Structure 1
Amino acid sequence: MASHGVLVSPGDTQPGQLLARVLDELRALEKHDAASFRAVRRKVSAEIATMDASVVFALAEGLVEAGFEWEGWEFINSHQAAFAALTPARLKELGGGIASWGQADAFATILVGPAWREGLISDSDVDGWARSPDHWWRRIALVSTTVLNTRSRWGTGDTQRTLAVVGILIHDRDDTVVKAASWALRSLVPWDPRAVRTFLESHETELAARVKREVRTKLETGLKSRRRSVHGTDLSK
């Protein structure tokens, strides 16, 4: 059975104490799915809202080490003081162990993109990551642009910054980067389809075939792919 007791008391700021309580709650859940994990995260976030940012960073780092990466990053995103304390150096430290698609995309959409949107990091910081020798950081730079273009993440559309990052990586053929470039351009389509179409036409010989195919399909149909199941269910979202 899942625990429903109070997780955090005002005195739970000792190193390791808060982390141990949160880990116990997460591991005791009957369902180990995103909705259940997020319910715990939201409850604890409300309880630690007035705690010092250092407490939240320690909690997040401990959760990441325990394999609860996105949960840890959400604690930072949801804590006003901790989020405001994000810097390029701190983000590099927090994302130092990223080694998978899921980790890179979660980190980009939960922390890097929102920090960029709110002006905590600069365009030059993201451009620098787009030029990183680490393909995961190049993907993070691209996926971060989707936050600027996603209404549910308080994005309002940003043609200039999106196309700038895609432009830096236009010749990159690493599969993780190519797919992220497609995602970045597709996220901009609802806001500025003319700019996306012009970009495709201007860089016809430079863009990867996948990027051109998926983005053109998005422009023409509103979907990533034209594929459908035998039952007519869209498989492209």
Structure 2
Amino acid sequence: MIDLNFLSGVYVLLTYFAAAIFIIGVLIKIIVYAKTPMPVKIALTPAPQTKAGSVGRVASEILLFKSLFRANKPTWVAGYIFHVSFIILILLHFARHFIYHYHNGVVSLPSWYPLFVNAGIVFGILMFLSLFYLLFRRMIVDRVKIISIFSDYLILIILMMIAIAGLSMNFLISASALTKIDNRLDPFINGIATFHPINIPSNPYFLVHYSLILILVAYIPFSKVMHFVGVFFSPTRYMTDNPEEKRYYKPNAKDLSL
């Protein structure tokens, strides 16, 4: 490990701290979800009557947001665009790291790399616009506004700020400054992953973007973003509607069994 400057030392500690909160928090949530008593069948009808049907139902919710599509199509469009854009952006960030690592930095990047960068910009814009619609909807639709709490607005604002900060790196700084960030980011990420940290890129636009990502990562276990795990433990989704064919019994709910 090289000697870290003060700023890098702070960000290295914050990175490990955020990662620890995320991992421990998600694991605790999973344990809580798994131990939550489910004494009765509460499948949301019409519900499948076979396990294969239940798997298909959960898969359709995860991949297609089927119930949201039936309930509110404009919200489904915005929500689906956001989730797809967000996932693709995460994958693009990981892919970018491996591309830089494989091609030894900016000097030998493949000719198609600008298309890769442009794809990130497009999905970043789509992510921001979809989040803006979802936030605007919470603010003006009375039936949504009345059930919204501070955390509902906070997570949308954090995600929008991440998108703005990421896009600003492509639109508000010079190509040479962006190249400098890219050259230093790959070894920084490798250092974090191998527990041999080095100095972080010091560009203020990057630091804002990275800081917001750390805030998001640390906040996820305490937010409704945990639905990416909770959907697998939702009895209204995964339960089969066969109480007459098969008696439902759970040991952690034995006091309520007949």
Greater relative CO, 1 or 2 (CA 8 Å, sep 6+): 2
Computing the radius of gyration from Cα coordinates, the structure with the larger value is 2
Bigger helix share: 2
TM-score, normalization by structure 2: 0.23
